[in-house]
Amino acid sequence: MKFSVCVDALYMGKDIYIGMQEVSECGLKNIEFWTWWDKDIEKLRAEKERLGLEVKAFCTKFISLVEPALRNDYIEGLKETLKVAKQLDCRTIISQTGNDNGACRKEQHASLVAGLKECAPILEAEGITLVIEPLNLRVDHAGYFLSNSEEAFEIIDEIKSTNVKILFDIYHQQITEGDVTRRILKDIDKIGHFHAAGNPGRHELAESELNYNYILKQIDSTLYGGMIGLEYFPLADSSKELLRLAKLEKEGAV
C-alpha cells in the first residue's frame, strides 16, 4: 500500500515547500496537488528531486466536459497539463467533469464521453492516465455533473481506453452512495487512483465512520498497484497522522 499526500489539502494556506519538506521528514515519498498553473513548476521539480519525492497526480484545467462548445478548450488545457506532467515525471492527471448545465442528462453524458474519447489517443501517445473524479453533491459540490460511481464506471466502459480511468474518492462515495468496498472491488480494474479522507468532516482517516483499516486491506488484496491519495484537512498537526501512515506503508500493513 502506497500513500500520496495531497499537499494542497493538508497544508492549505501554507507554503507548499514546507509541506513537501514535512512529508519527506515523515518518511513518505509521494505527493500530489490540485493546481499546477499557480505554481513555479521548475522550482517544484527541483525541490521534489532534492527531497527524493515523486509527484503522483495533479489536476488538469477546470474546463467542463459536459459542454460541447468547450471541448477544444478542454483538450488544449489537457495538452498544456501533459507538458507539465512530463516535466515532473507524473503519470496520472486528475479531471473533474464540470457542473450540470441543465440540459438533458443523456446529452451531457454523451458530451463527456465524446470529449474523453478525443483525449484517449493523446493520453495513450504520452503514456499518461487521466482519472475522472465523481464528487458528492449533498455536502461539498452541489450542481456537479458526475456523482454516482455506477455511471462513472459506465463511462469508462464506453471509452475503451486503459489510459482513461476513475479517481475513486472514498470520502465522496461514502456520502453519495455508501457500500464503498463492494463498489471498489467490483470495478477495481477501472480505478486509476484513490482519494481518502475521514467522514464526516473530511479529516484524518482515523477520525471517521469509515473503517479504513478494512477498506485499505481489501484494496491491497487486489491487483491495484496505484496510490491512495491522502486528501483531507487535518484536525491536528499534520505530521502525527503522516508518521503513522508512513509506518504502516513501510510495514506493508494497514
Instruction: State the amino acid at position 210 in one-letter form.
Output: L
Task: Clarify whether 133 is annotated catalytic.
Answer: yes
Determine the pLDDT at residue 254. Answer: 52
Parallel, antiparallel, or unpaired for β 92-95 and 191-196?
unpaired
Q: Name the active-site residue from 133, 204, 241, 249.
A: 133
Query: Taking the C-alpha atoms of 65, 71, 74 and 78 in order, what is their torsion angle to the nearest 10 degrees?
Result: 110
Q: Name the active-site residue from 32, 67, 207, 231.
A: 231
Over its length of 254 residues, how does the chain's per-residue pLDDT go in tens digits? Answer: 899 999 999 999 999 999 999 999 999 999 999 999 999 999 999 999 999 999 999 999 999 999 999 999 999 999 999 999 999 999 999 999 999 999 999 999 999 999 999 999 999 999 999 999 999 999 999 999 999 999 999 999 999 999 999 999 999 999 999 999 999 999 999 999 999 999 999 999 999 999 999 999 999 999 999 999 999 999 999 999 999 999 989 887 55
Grouping H, G, I as helix, E, B as strand and the rest as coil, residue 128 is coil
CATH superfamily label, 34-228: Divalent-metal-dependent TIM barrel enzymes (3.20.20.150)
Determine the pLDDT at residue 250. Answer: 87
Q: Cβ(71)–Cβ(110) under 8 Å?
A: no
Rounded to an integer, what is the distance from CA 250 to the centroid of its chain?
22
Instruction: State the amino acid at position 66 in one-letter form.
Output: V
Determine the pLDDT at residue 129. Answer: 98
Q: Is 224 exposed, middle or buried (0-12, 13-18, 19+ CB in 10 A)?
A: buried
Q: Cβ(34)–Cβ(61) under 8 Å?
A: no
Determine the pLDDT at residue 1. Answer: 83
Cβ count near 228 (within 10 Å): 25
